Structure 1
Amino acid sequence: MKVEYSKDEVLKKLGERIKELRISKGYTSYEYFAYEHNISRAQFGRYERGEDLRFSTLARIISAFDMTFEEFFSKGFEEKQP
């Protein structure tokens, strides 16, 4: 059976994962994390809220967390139940 995610569901999961990782790295403020990693603070806040982002930006964020794509997607993206 094919399971489909809506764009909003995927973006929400991305935002939650980004926020979770930022906090786990000890950053209570998304603005400070963004500033330290040369990412637009306003945009980073939007990403955490589940707004759309470019793939290249996602790659940059994952790199800022010093992770691989596999590590990033290993949590929070479990298979959806039909």
Structure 2
Amino acid sequence: MSTFLAILLIAAMIAVVVVFIRGLVIFMMNASAEAKGGTSGPSAAALKSNKMMQYRIFFQAVAIVIVVLILMLAGRG
């Protein structure tokens, strides 16, 4: 069970990094496009960047829950 949780934790941490980098890339592309000519309201890229950061927070929460489960199991054994 502990090995399974460790694998899940690694997968969650990789997901956090991938989503974070993807969100940053989208943010940078959006920032350069807005610098060239502003638009009224949020652009599609800005909304996508925001969604990526929301996914990052979700995956971080999942990773924290897995760490808590691992610590609880380690404390019992």
TM-score where L is the length of structure 1: 0.34
Q: Greater helix share, 1 or 2?
A: 2
Of the two, which has the highest radius of gyration?
A: 2
Tell me which of the two structures has the higher relative contact order, counting C-alpha pairs closer than 8 angstroms and 6 or more residues apart. Answer: 2
TM-score where L is the length of structure 2: 0.36
